[in-house]
Structure 1
């Protein structure tokens, strides 16, 4: 079953995936959404899991590059999760949409380029890149990156706008390519250059990610590199986890989140590098 939007065919068949896969994927999504709500790095769980899950679904052709499909499919959950966050900020009275959209423009341009690169990167090259990114982002969680967020350069006038736009362009390019850890990069850039408090900065972050993800998702869709059943299933999980996380400001949660990320990243990186060495994918 499927339908078309413009020239993009969108196929949705709920029988493409069995109940166990749905439940496990939703569970992974909940963990990722929870982590994203109180820290960062949820995509370090979702992208590798999608890479491992896709070959196990019989209706997905074996010739499909699971790494590219996982990279594109993850954008569905990212889009809906950030839309939910935008609505949440709106309910809390955040209304500086004009400035947020202005910040998003260079990121959108960068993301369109990054997404094209992502769709053209073969799995055999993408897997080691993903492994390196995951290890790097994992290490950042142990160096308390929030300490950097209180440092401000905040240059004035046109200098500020140019530097901020350049920074967000490259962050957007990275986000369009791989997404993992983009939230931290955006928050860091905005705190250093924009100088707003963390609440407003985080609100700007979800706007930026939402808008550039629309473009990135469109690029992956145009290449047929999105599985809607997996993406929407994951989105249900991430949205639920984000809601739970947003209502649990528990300091002790930071420690076990790091433990979960370490286990997941070590296992995922090992599998990704093994596949690369053995030539699988």
Structure 2
């Protein structure tokens, strides 16, 4: 029973964080490991929650009139290709390597979260602003996200906000759409490899969905999300200490 409560509560926090900022999987992936799942199985199971959370967020954004299907699909294609490769690698990599990557990713994402974001002169994103560099960056994000997902939102901020200079509200909209499209094939690969525990994944997903629904309503951009980042960092530090002694 306590496991179910933990999955629902932390899932809700993670769903809220994932939509508005980045770092939700830094909470849920270690939680699944602490509840007894092997790292690779926890990695696959976490994708159930990411998928359903993303469906919820995408639906909410589009019902609210936010979205750019043409650009979103263009950006998602290389991300999906990268995700297929990343997920395949994740299914056979050793436990030791995966845990090392997880700790390194959590530390790296935490450092990025405390760095100040520059104030940029943002403008709408149109297809003519996309090019080979952006598509390759999306492939790398998909590759990383397919492998582990932890901190992938920070990579989207680098590419979409810093490189393409679109506002952070629109970054959030594009991010959840692209994550949904590349997570679906990744989840399939993990499921085929028997690295998904559906009961725990669906329980976690219920919490994620609730958090995502709240986040869609308060999509607030960079300044309003600062307190979310600090809350995430406090929790991540505690988890990192536990992971190192795991």
State the Cα distance separating 1:249 from its structure 2 match.
6.9
Q: Distance in 2 between matches of 1:217 and 1:150?
A: 37
State the Cα distance separating 1:150 from its structure 2 match.
5.2
After superposition, residues 226-237 of structure 1 pair within 5 angstroms as 226-237=196-207
Q: Distance in 1 between matches of 2:120 and 2:86?
A: 26
| Count of residue pairs the alignment pairs up | 243
State the Cα distance separating 1:149 from its structure 2 match.
6.0
Aligned to 1:198: 168
Q: Distance in 2 between matches of 1:264 and 1:170?
A: 27
**In 1, are the aligned partners of 2:15 and 2:210 still within 8 Å (CA)?**
yes
Q: 2:25 matched to 1:43?
A: yes
Aligned to 2:58: 86
Q: Distance in 1 between matches of 2:164 and 2:225?
A: 29
Q: 2:97 matched to 1:116?
A: no
Aligned to 2:182: 212
Q: 2:106 matched to 1:131?
A: no
Gaps of 5+ in 1: 1-18, 56-65, 276-281
Distance change in 2, residues 1:114/1:201 (3 Å): same
Paired residue secondary structure (1:147): coil
Q: 2:229 matched to 1:262?
A: no
Distance change in 2, residues 1:187/1:149 (3 Å): farther
State the Cα distance separating 1:191 from its structure 2 match.
2.7
Gaps of 5+ in 2: none
> What is the RMSD computed on CA atoms of the aligned residues?
2.6
Which of structures 1 and 2 has the bigger CA Rg? 1
